Amino acid sequence: MLEHLKDQPADKILALIAAFRDDPRKDKIDLGVGVYKDPTGLTPVMRAVKTAEYKLWQTQDTKTYTGLAGDPAFADAMIGLILKGAVARDRIAAVATPGGTGAIRQALELIRLAAPEATVWLSNPTWPNHPSIIKYLGMKSAEYRYFDEASRDVDFAGLMADLVGVRAGDVVLLHGCCHNPTGANLNAAQWAEVIALLKARGAVPLVDIAYQGFGDGLDADALATRAVAAGFDECLIAASCSKNFGVYRERTGLLMAVARDAKEQKTAQANLNFLNRQNYSFPPDHGARIVTMILTDPELRADWEAELEEVRLNMLTLRQSLAAELQRLTNSDRFGFVAQHRGMFSRIGATPAQVEQMRAEHGIYMVGDSRMNIAGLNAATVPILAQAIVASGA
Ligand code: LMR
Work out the percent of the chain whose per-residue pLDDT is above 70. 100
Range of the domain at 374: 11-44+312-392
* Residue 79 φ/ψ, nearest 5 degrees: -65, -40
DSSP letter assigned to residue 222: G
Question: Does 113 share its domain with 228?
Answer: yes
Question: Does 285 share its domain with 352?
Answer: no
Query: How far does residue 95's CA lie from ligand 1's centre (Å)?
Result: 21
Mark 142-169 as b/e (b = at least 16 C-beta within 10 Å): bebbbbbeeebbbbbeebeebbeebeee
Instruction: State the catalytic residue, choosing from 127, 155, 285, 288.
Output: 127
CB atoms inside a 10 Å sphere around CB 215: 23
Q: Is residue 53 part of a domain?
A: no
37 among known catalytic residues: no
- Say yes or no: CB of residue 373 within 6 Å of ligand 1: no
Cα 42 from Cα 246, distance rounded (Å) = 11
pLDDT band per the 50, 70, 90 thresholds, residue 291: very high
Cα 100 from Cα 98, distance rounded (Å) = 7
Query: How far does residue 210's CA lie from ligand 1's centre (Å)?
Result: 10
Per DSSP, the chain holds a count of helices (H) and strands (E) of 14, 13
121: helix, coil or strand?
Answer: strand
- Say yes or no: CB of residue 126 within 6 Å of ligand 1: no
pLDDT band per the 50, 70, 90 thresholds, residue 233: very high
Q: What residues does 97 pair with on adjacent strands? A: 253
Q: Is residue 301 part of a domain?
A: no
135 among known catalytic residues: no
Question: Does 179 share its domain with 69?
Answer: yes
CATH code of the domain in which 190 resides? 3.40.640.10
DSSP for 142-172? EEEE-EETTTTEE-HHHHHHHHTTPPTT-EE
pLDDT band per the 50, 70, 90 thresholds, residue 132: very high
Structural domain count of the chain: 2
For ligand 1, atom 6, name the residue with the nearest CA.
34
For ligand 1, atom 2, name the residue with the nearest CA.
34
pLDDT band per the 50, 70, 90 thresholds, residue 296: very high
Question: Does 226 share its domain with 286?
Answer: yes
Cα 203 from Cα 225, distance rounded (Å) = 15
Work out the percent of the chain whose per-residue pLDDT is above 90. 98
Q: What is the pLDDT of residues 258-267, one digit of tens each?
A: 999 999 999 9
Strands (E), the chain: 29-30, 92-97, 119-124, 140-145, 147-148, 153-154, 171-175, 204-209, 235-240, 253-258, 345-347, 364-365, 371-373
Cβ within 8 Å of residue 132, ≥6 positions away: 11
Question: Does 328 share its domain with 277?
Answer: no
- Say yes or no: CB of residue 13 within 6 Å of ligand 1: yes
DSSP for 307-349? HHHHHHHHHHHHHHHHHHHHHHHHTSSTTTHHHH--SSEEE--
210 among known catalytic residues: yes
Q: Is residue 69 part of a domain?
A: yes
Closest to 384 in 3D by CA, of 14, 38, 31: 31
- Say yes or no: CB of residue 213 within 6 Å of ligand 1: no
Cα 394 from Cα 390, distance rounded (Å) = 6
CATH code of the domain in which 351 resides? 3.90.1150.10
The residue length of the chain stands at 394
pLDDT, residue 334, reads 95
Instruction: State the catalytic residue, choosing from 208, 221, 285, 369.
Output: 208
Q: Is residue 4 part of a domain?
A: no
Torsion of CA 100, 257, 182, 143, to 10 degrees: 120
- Say yes or no: CB of residue 365 within 6 Å of ligand 1: no
Closest atom of ligand 1 relative to the 180 alpha carbon:
2
Last residue within a domain, chosen from 270, 296, 322: 296
Question: Does 165 share its domain with 105?
Answer: yes
- Say yes or no: CB of residue 173 within 6 Å of ligand 1: no
Closest atom of ligand 1 relative to the 210 alpha carbon:
5
Q: Best substitution site from 11, 12, 13, 17 to test ligand 1's pocket, by max atoms within 8 Å of Cβ?
A: 13
pLDDT, residue 276, reads 97
Instruction: State the catalytic residue, choosing from 118, 162, 243, 323.
Output: 243
Closest atom of ligand 1 relative to the 11 alpha carbon:
9
88-112 mean pLDDT: 98
Closest atom of ligand 1 relative to the 32 alpha carbon:
3
Closest atom of ligand 1 relative to the 373 alpha carbon:
3
Q: Is residue 5 part of a domain?
A: no
Cα 330 from Cα 86, distance rounded (Å) = 45
Cα 22 from Cα 18, distance rounded (Å) = 6
Q: What is the pLDDT of residues 312-367, one digit of tens each?
A: 999 999 999 999 999 999 999 999 999 999 999 999 999 999 999 999 999 999 99
Question: Does 236 share its domain with 339?
Answer: no
Question: Does 269 share its domain with 226?
Answer: yes
Q: Is residue 345 part of a domain?
A: yes
Cβ within 8 Å of residue 124, ≥6 positions away: 143, 144, 145, 146, 147
- Say yes or no: CB of residue 240 within 6 Å of ligand 1: no
For ligand 1, atom 5, name the residue with the nearest CA.
34
Distances (CA, A) of 48 to 110, 190, 210: 34, 36, 19
Phi-psi group of 221: left, alpha or beta (phi > 0 → left; psi -120 to 50 → alpha; rest → beta): alpha
Q: Is residue 346 part of a domain?
A: yes
pLDDT band per the 50, 70, 90 thresholds, residue 195: very high
Angle between helices 99-114 and 262-279 (to 10 degrees): 120
Question: Does 369 share its domain with 238?
Answer: no
Last residue within a domain, chosen from 296, 326, 344: 296
pTM over 0.85: yes
Question: Does 273 share its domain with 356?
Answer: no
Last residue within a domain, chosen from 253, 269, 296: 296
Instruction: State the catalytic residue, choosing from 210, 222, 224, 323.
Output: 210
pLDDT band per the 50, 70, 90 thresholds, residue 82: very high
Question: Does 33 share its domain with 172?
Answer: no
Q: Is residue 259 part of a domain?
A: yes
Average pLDDT over the chain, rounded to an integer: 97
Question: Does 364 share its domain with 225?
Answer: no
For ligand 1, atom 9, name the residue with the nearest CA.
13
Query: How far does residue 35's CA lie from ligand 1's centre (Å)?
Result: 8
Query: How far does residue 13's CA lie from ligand 1's centre (Å)?
Result: 7
Residue 19 C-alpha from the chain's centroid: 23
Q: What is the CA radius of gyration of the chain?
A: 21
